Amino acid sequence: MKLDITPPGIERDDSDTSATTGDGFLYNISARDNDAMGAVDVHYRFGTSDQTFVLPLESSTE
């Protein structure tokens, strides 16, 4: 699963899923399946901040 959450105004480089605004900040966002939790692990880096969070997936029967 690929999750594209590139911020507006950021040029995306699909070769490494990172982009720069020219202000010295590197934006790097990636996601991977977490089958054990029925969720997607989302990892992002913004400047010196390096965070990972779990994005739950909801299923619909409609």
Flag whether pLDDT at 26 surpasses 60. Answer: no
Residue with the bigger pLDDT between 62 and 31: it is 31
Domain boundary assignment for the chain:
1-62
53 has which bridge partners? 42
Residue 55's nearest CA partner among 45, 44, 11, 47 is 44
**d(C-alpha 7, C-alpha 39), whole Å:** 22
Confidence of residue 31 (pLDDT cuts 50, 70, 90): low
The one-letter amino acid at 62: E
The one-letter amino acid at 43: H
